[in-house]
């Protein structure tokens, strides 16, 4: 059975994953309003993935005889600036998520909760991938600079990637 402390922290993480989904959905709206439909599609896919992350923890808590309690999801911003600025925010956000996952893991270790540690291994690996992907796209957006024609091709590329 989960300790009360760990159960509360896992519930917080469910909320954080849903807040990530909401943030990426706001970014999808931002990009789509700028006709960057490929980037918008990429963000929509990201938002769906974040919901699956929340559900992994949701299912885990119930599997451990715990209780999921849902809290209000933070309101995301409506504007994210230029393409480079938006991708900077993605990378910053993912680094924050990584810190959260690591703190959660440290708590699972402190509580001697081995199943939670095993479950979190997937999230630790996932965050390495998330940061790598966000860094690559951010660096590509920086390379492009103010070129609208190059941004058009990056947007198309991201749209294709989000399809696959
Ligand atoms: Mg996530």
Q: How confident is the model at residue 99 (pLDDT cuts 50, 70, 90)?
A: very high
- State the SS3 of the chain: CCCHHHHHHHHHHHHHHHHHHHHHHHHHHHHHHCCCHHHHHHHHHHHHHHHHHHHHHHHHHHHCCCCCCCCCCCCCCCCCCCHHHHHHHHHHHHHHHHHHHHHHHHHHHHCCCHHHHHHHHHHHHHHHHHHHHHHHHHHHHHHHCCCHHHHHHHHHHHHHHHHC
Answer yes or no: is pLDDT of 139 > 80: yes
Residue 136 and residue 41 in contact, taking contact as beta carbons nearer than 8 Å: no
Average the pLDDT over each of 105-109, 114-118, 127-131, 145-149 and give the range with the smallest value: 145-149
Over residues 8-12, mean pLDDT: 98
Q: How confident is the model at residue 146 (pLDDT cuts 50, 70, 90)?
A: confident
Report the alpha-carbon distance of residue 100 to residue 97 in Å, rounded: 5
Ligand 1 centroid to Cα of residue 149, in Å, is 32
Ligand 1 centroid to Cα of residue 123, in Å, is 8
Answer yes or no: is pLDDT of 160 > 90: yes
pLDDT computed for residue 70 by the predictor:
98
Domain-by-domain residue ranges, the chain? 4-163
pLDDT computed for residue 21 by the predictor:
98
Report the alpha-carbon distance of residue 48 to residue 64 in Å, rounded: 25
Residue 3 and residue 111 in contact, taking contact as beta carbons nearer than 8 Å: yes
Q: Encoding tokens for residue 125?
A: 């690996």
- Which class does domain 4-163 fall in? mainly alpha
Q: 42-74: per-residue pLDDT in tens? A: 999 999 999 999 999 999 999 999 999 999 999
Ligand 1 centroid to Cα of residue 146, in Å, is 30
pLDDT computed for residue 1 by the predictor:
85
The residues placing their C-beta within 5 Å of ligand 1, an ion, are 17, 50, 53
Answer yes or no: is pLDDT of 115 > 90: yes
pLDDT computed for residue 145 by the predictor:
84
**What is the chain's Cα-based Rg?**
17
Ligand 1 centroid to Cα of residue 93, in Å, is 10
């Amino acid at each position: 059975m989960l300790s009360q402390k760990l159960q509360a922290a896992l519930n917080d993480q469910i909320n954080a994953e849903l807040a990530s989904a909401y943030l990426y959905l706001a970014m999808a709206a931002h990009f789509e309003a700028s006709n960057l439909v490929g980037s918008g599609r990429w963000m929509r896919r990201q938002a769906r993935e974040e919901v699956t992350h929340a559900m992994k923890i949701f299912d885990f808590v119930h599997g451990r005889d715990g209780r999921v309690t849902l809290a209000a999801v933070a309101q995301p911003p409506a504007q994210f600036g230029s393409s480079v600025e938006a991708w900077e925010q993605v990378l910053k956000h993912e680094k924050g998520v990584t810190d959260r996952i690591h703190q959660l893991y440290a708590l699972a270790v402190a509580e001697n909760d081995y199943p939670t540690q095993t479950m979190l291994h997937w999230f630790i690996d996932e965050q390495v991938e998330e940061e790598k992907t966000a860094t690559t796209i951010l660096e590509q957006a920086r390379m492009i600079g103010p070129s609208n024609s190059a941004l058009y091709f990056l947007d198309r590329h991201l749209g294709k990637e989000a399809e696959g």
